[in-house]
Amino acid sequence: MPFKLMLILLFFYSCQSPKNDIGNKDTSVFSIVIHGGAGTILKKNMTKEMEIKYINKLEEAIEVGYEILKNDGSSQEAVEKTINVMEDSPLFNAGKGAVLNFDGNVELDASFMNGSTLDAGAISGASKIKNPISAAIAVMNNSPHVMLSGTGADEFASSQKLELKQNSYFITERRSRSLDKVKFKENSTVIIDKEYLLTQKYGTVGCVALDQNGNISSGTSTGGMTNKKWNRIGDAPIIGAGTYANNKTCGVSATGWGEFFIRSVVAYDISALMEYKGLSVQEASRIVIHDKVAKLGGNGGVIALDNKGNVAMEMNTAGMYRAHMDSKGTKIIKIYADK
Ligand code: ASP
């Protein structure tokens, strides 16, 4: 090769933006995993009709992302569009059907991370954004910031031409009843005890995807916890707690009692155990949920994918709405914890 041409090529490659492209590059392996929240999900309390509704919605959501990945789309697009399906469904605690705070309103949190560039975006305490995960991605792509909150997040979403909705769009009868129940309990027993909180159902939604270019993306979207006060923020919009992605290791999305997930830095800890200790994604997820979160007294679950497409769906609760599909077309949809 002529020396001049070599120099031009060298210059061209050195000008490429820095990327964390250590993932699974030159194969057509791809993989996607989702959750729709963990918690006290017991078969004895579930009607056949509700079970079918959840399974059908999980299947619809994961197939949206699967088709994007199969057609060589990006993991970012797969995560966004998959989560949008769950945000638009009143079944889950995200977007429409999000849980209500003490004042009877929604306060929406979401975050997204790109495992190739380590770019991230998040919103918290928004009350008008129809699809919070899309706003989190817009914060990442179109602002100099990582996290926006409250009315500022709503204003930013509006400036991005994202769809806004009135309060009434988000509020469902089911969530109003749950708020009444929690308030009644609070009034009758003076304090909400820990035992009671441990029986909560966490309906947060999340998705992790690995695309055919070896790039991992993770996203999480939630309404937080019923009856929350004082603009409480959970783990879902916090990078490293509820969401993390790094092509070197894995992508993670969490659901559970957010305070414990923040204190355990759950999503980043799974990645760090893989990076520094060489653990598999399943071992790392198991240790963080069962040895760390559980030992502090918290509960919940995670979904995670490594850069080869290996999956972990770990929980210390009775169940977690979850689904996984891989490039071989294998599809797993589950509600209750494995025995
Ligand atoms: N982790 C969420 C929070 O604490 C709740 C959930 O998973 O549903 O805000």
Residues whose CB is less than 8 angstroms from the CB of residue 197 and which lie 6 or more positions away in sequence, other chains included = 257
Of 52, 43, 58, 33, which Cα lies nearest the Cα of 319? Answer: 43
pLDDT at site 232: 97
pLDDT digits (tens, 9 = 90+) for 31-63: 999 999 998 888 888 899 999 999 999 999 999
pLDDT at site 13: 43
pLDDT at site 202: 78
Query: What positions carry a catalytic annotation?
Result: 204
pLDDT at site 187: 73
Q: How far apart are CA 7 and CA 4, in angstroms?
A: 5
Q: How far apart are CA 227 and CA 186, in angstroms?
A: 10
pLDDT surpasses 50 at 10: no
Of 76, 216, 232, which Cα lies nearest the Cα of 140? Answer: 76
Backbone angles phi, psi at 61, to 5 degrees: -65, -50
Distance 170 CA to ligand 1 centre (A): 17
Per-residue confidence at 5, pLDDT binned at 50, 70, 90? low
pLDDT at site 6: 53
Q: How far apart are CA 312 and CA 323, in angstroms?
A: 11
Per-residue confidence at 67, pLDDT binned at 50, 70, 90? very high
pLDDT at site 318: 93
Give the least confident one: 12-21, 68-77, 82-91, 310-319. 12-21
Nearest-CA residue for atom 7 of ligand 1: 255
Q: Is 260 in the pocket of ligand 1 (CB under 6 A)?
A: no
pLDDT digits (tens, 9 = 90+) for 200-214: 677 899 999 999 999
pLDDT surpasses 90 at 196: no
Per-residue confidence at 185, pLDDT binned at 50, 70, 90? confident
Q: What is the mean pLDDT of residues 132-140?
A: 98
pLDDT digits (tens, 9 = 90+) for 68-113: 999 999 999 999 999 999 999 999 999 999 999 999 999 999 999 9
- Whether the Cβ atoms of residue 309 and residue 31 lie closer than 8 Å to each other: yes
Q: How far apart are CA 89 and CA 57, in angstroms?
A: 8
Distance 159 CA to ligand 1 centre (A): 28
Q: Is 255 in the pocket of ligand 1 (CB under 6 A)?
A: yes
Q: How far apart are CA 70 and CA 142, in angstroms?
A: 27
State how far Cα 334 lies from the chain centre: 17
Which domains can be identified in the chain, with CATH numbers?
A: 26-336 (3.60.20.30)
Q: Is 62 in the pocket of ligand 1 (CB under 6 A)?
A: no
Q: Is 225 in the pocket of ligand 1 (CB under 6 A)?
A: yes
Nearest-CA residue for atom 9 of ligand 1: 224
- Supply 249's token pair: 């290791």
pLDDT at site 198: 62
Nearest-CA residue for atom 4 of ligand 1: 258
Per-residue confidence at 220, pLDDT binned at 50, 70, 90? very high
Q: How far apart are CA 149 and CA 290, in angstroms?
A: 32
For ligand 1, pick from 40, 93, 204, 230 the residue to mutate: most ligand atoms within 8 Å of CB. Answer: 204
Q: How far apart are CA 285 and CA 290, in angstroms?
A: 8
- Whether the Cβ atoms of residue 124 and residue 133 lie closer than 8 Å to each other: no
For ligand 1, pick from 106, 201, 222 the residue to mutate: most ligand atoms within 8 Å of CB. Answer: 222
- Whether the Cβ atoms of residue 255 and residue 37 lie closer than 8 Å to each other: yes
pLDDT surpasses 50 at 17: no
- Supply 218's token pair: 């993770």
pLDDT digits (tens, 9 = 90+) for 224-267: 999 999 999 999 999 999 999 999 999 999 999 999 999 999 99
Long-range CB pairs of 178-183 (<8 Å, 24+ gap) are 178/99, 178/100, 178/226, 179/99, 179/100, 179/104, 179/226, 179/227, 182/226, 182/227, 183/227
Q: Is 226 in the pocket of ligand 1 (CB under 6 A)?
A: no
